[in-house]
Amino acid sequence: MYIYFMSLTIVLFDNAHWRRRLFPFASTRPVGNIRIGICTLNEKWERVFKCPVTYNTSPYLRGLFPFNYQSSEEFLIIKANILPSEPLINELRKLKLGEVLVDETSWIAIKSSQPEVDLNGLHYEFSPIRTSCTIQSLNFLEDIFLKNKPQLLFDYQLLTEGRKSSLLSESNTVYGSWLFVEEGAQIEGASLNSLEGPIYIAKDAIVEEGTYLKGYVSIGERVRVKTGARLYGNTSIGPGSTICGEVNNTVVWGNSSKGHEGYLGCSVIGEGCNIGAGSSNSNLKNNWNTVKLFDYEDLSFRDTNELKCGLFMGDYAMCGINSSISTGSVIGVAAQVAISNFIPKFVSDFSWLTDEKSDIYTFEKFIEMLERRRAITDTFMNENQASIFKHIFEDVKYLLEKKSNLNI
């Protein structure tokens, strides 16, 4: 529990066109609710400033992510894709009412007496303060895994400051001491190597015998790391997930399952996803060219200028057993894919893709599937969540109209 200083509220702003560049992940949540490192962005800001955090986001998301600010006198409006760092936090603490923190290209944060401001009139109403920090932000899909490691370290320090780790049993093999284990975590017969980076294991996580973890790695609450899993540096597994096989440079957001053998690397997996047994993704092209990713804003393939990019899978998407996933693949929200060939580099939201047909996943059947899933996993979906998925389902029509012009 936090004791809030109620005169301040942080507003994470993403009600702008640029949020589409982070689809399919930002189509189901505000950018300020994206997980990178151990925590989501809103969790980081809340822990740092010990004050309420709210969202100024797209209207269709506000039922689940409301814009709450009634109790405050001051507002720190932060561009939602900005990643926290100690130097930036120090500058934000010094920001005064009527000032806007800027870099050479854009605004970063605004200190205001109002929860909303006219961004077109910033230079008239607010005094610019030039940052001396190197600003890190989430601008594209690949940034989530590329910038995960420093955020994992930031969160590790944030979550462990002034606290002591629980003790491990002697059945485990431990290399290094950069390890923090929450009470209630069950870890037996595991190999934990924190010589090069921290390992964080949250409460009620289960790390089974015969697993290998090499920092930087975070394991969220109620995660099951199955026997034989090999998790390498720059890997974050979100709460409630199941993980196995070989994983590196990957963020899994929560309540998702990669429960069997197969490789997953340089990837981001959304909420409630399932990756079938034996599935693997490629993250490097045979010709060593840079990787292109589908961009939801431009509706075209954008060159990332990165040699390695893997799979980007939206919430509640699933792929069948032995799926072969191309370098730089984007699979949309609620897509269901079960084909024997390589999965296409872009699969639109609510696709139903098999060897026999390519169709749209009927919205009613999708909701029925979630109800059956809820009965087994005890995960709950309310009307606000359903309305978000309905909005995305309707938006698929726009995508499909443009699909004939895409080089897929």
Domains annotated for the chain, with CATH where assigned, are 8-139 (3.90.550.10), 144-403 (2.160.10.10)
Is residue 303 a contact partner of residue 311, using CB atoms and an 8 Å limit? no
Task: Indicate the pTM of the whole model.
Answer: 0.94
Average confidence (pLDDT) over 224-245? 97
pLDDT, tens only, 113-153: 999 999 988 888 999 999 999 999 999 999 999 999 999 99
Cite the DSSP H helix spans in 297-347: none
pLDDT, tens only, 306-332: 999 999 999 999 999 999 999 999 999
d(CA 119, CA 109): 11
pLDDT, tens only, 154-193: 999 999 999 999 999 999 999 999 999 999 999 999 999 9
Q: Which two tokens stand for residue 110?
A: 């605004």
Backbone angles phi, psi at 39, to 5 degrees: -100, 165
pLDDT > 70 fraction of the chain, expressed in percent and rounded:
95
Q: With cut-offs at 50, 70 and 90, classify the pLDDT of residue 109.
A: very high
